[in-house]
């Protein structure tokens, strides 16, 4: 018997208190099961029951964010193969005018409210559930075939793109509140590739990202448990950390040499719990369970269980051996 529930353990760590053991969470897609609410619920609940993680990052079909605006997918029926995008809502700069606010009752959004409610019913109250929501910039970036098209449009026709960003923001501001009503404890708020100098300048993200991000996150309400995920290389984590994003947890790829490493992050982000430490594209995939045990022991020796929740820097690939995840869970 463990001394604390998952919720108690996570709340202790977010308060800077030392728990009974290290906490951990991992997340991945189940492409062949995420075509509908029932399959997504089954996949997420099954993964949680297999490993008993300390919080659930609900990993939905990523394009649920844009399907309400007319994006079409050919669904994958293979565990390791992504869905194929068949139709994009925006093919020219004039199409941004067609992007109007959606209601939470829009079928793809309503489907995922059902997912949240179904998981909460199946899992119970003691597991924190964070629902994945993308920055409006990322939602807009999934509306075009090549995300560089959005960069070009932002720079050449910002007056045409910004009303669409406002509509996306309005949609997910309303949706964040409904997610809480459905049973989510908060948001896994992902900037995806956009809060990175590989895509935009910091001044551009300040204009086209930050104001919309804050509105969506604030809609999850003051008692939400939120995690800010800043994806990819050359990210703007340090700049974003100076803004009150109302997120108690931070997650990024600290093993990427272009990003701040984990050991340097504690002093820079003293108010947040850090989530990460695992090289999800390196030793997690390529090592055997004995090597995984060594790596987890190393993380535990070099970090503080009152500041760190062990996890990946991004969603792990579906090909990661389950025995490697089991080695991590057994070593906590």
Residue 101 lies in a domain: yes
The residue with tokens 């005018």 is 97
1: in domain:
no
> CA-CA distance, 326 to 316, in Å (whole number)?
14
Kindly state whether residue 38 falls inside one of the protein's structural domains.
yes
| d(C-alpha 222, C-alpha 220), whole Å | 7
As a whole number of angstroms, the distance between CA 211 and CA 208 comes to 7
Query: Residue 166 has what DSSP assignment?
Result: H
User: Residues in the chain with pLDDT < 50?
Assistant: none
The confidence score (pLDDT) of residue 1 equals 77
Domain housing 45: 6-331
Helix (H/G/I), strand (E/B), else coil: 101 = coil
Residue 171 parent element (H or E): helix 158-182
How many domains does the chain divide into?
1
Contacts for 12 with CB less than 8 Å, ≥ 6 apart: 4, 18, 19, 306
What CATH number is attached to the domain comprising 223?
3.20.20.210
- Using one digit for the tens of pLDDT, what is the confidence trace for 116-141? 999 999 999 999 999 999 999 999 99
- DSSP state string for 188-244: EEE-TTSSBTTTS-HHHHHHHTHHHHHHHHHTT-TT---EEEE-SSSB-HHHHTTS-
- Whether 24 is in a domain gets the answer yes
| Phi-psi group of 246: left, alpha or beta (phi > 0 → left; psi -120 to 50 → alpha; rest → beta) | left
Please check whether residue 267 lies inside any domain of the structure.
yes
């Amino acid at each position: 018997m463990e001394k604390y529930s998952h919720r108690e353990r996570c709340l202790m760590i977010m308060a800077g208190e030392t728990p009974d053991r290290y906490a951990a969470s991992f997340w991945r897609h189940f492409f062949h099961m995420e075509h509908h609410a029932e399959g997504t619920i089954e996949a997420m609940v099954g993964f949680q029951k297999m490993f008993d993680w300390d919080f659930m990052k609900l990993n939905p079909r990523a394009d649920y964010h844009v399907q309400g605006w007319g994006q079409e997918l050919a669904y994958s029926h293979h565990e390791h193969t992504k869905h194929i995008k068949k139709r994009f809502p925006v093919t020219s700069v004039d199409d941004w005018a067609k992007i109007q606010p959606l209601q939470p009752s829009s079928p793809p959004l309503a489907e995922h409210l059902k997912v949240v409610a179904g998981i909460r019913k199946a899992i119970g109250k003691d597991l924190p559930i964070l629902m994945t929501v993308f920055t409006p910039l990322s939602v807009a970036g999934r509306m075009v075939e090549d995300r560089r098209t959005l960069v070009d449009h932002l720079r050449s026709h910002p007056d045409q793109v910004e009303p669409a960003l406002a509509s996306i923001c309005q949609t997910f501001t309303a949706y964040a509140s409904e997610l809480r009503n459905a049973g989510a404890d908060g948001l896994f708020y992902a900037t995806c590739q956009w809060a990175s100098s590989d895509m935009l300048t910091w001044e551009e993200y300040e204009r086209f990202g930050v104001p919309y991000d804050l509105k969506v996150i604030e809609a999850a309400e003051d008692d939400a448990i939120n995690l800010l995920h800043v994806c990819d290389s050359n990210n703007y984590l340090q700049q974003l950390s100076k803004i009150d994003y109302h997120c108690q947890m931070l997650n990024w790829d600290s093993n990427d040499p272009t990003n701040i490493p984990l050991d340097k992050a504690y002093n820079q982000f003293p108010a947040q719990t850090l989530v990460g430490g695992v090289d999800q594209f390196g030793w997690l995939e390529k090592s055997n369970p004995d090597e995984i045990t060594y790596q987890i022991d190393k993380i535990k020796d070099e970090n503080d269980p009152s500041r760190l929740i062990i996890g990946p820097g991004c969603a792990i690939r579906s090909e990661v051996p389950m025995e490697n995840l089991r080695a991590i869970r057994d070593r906590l």
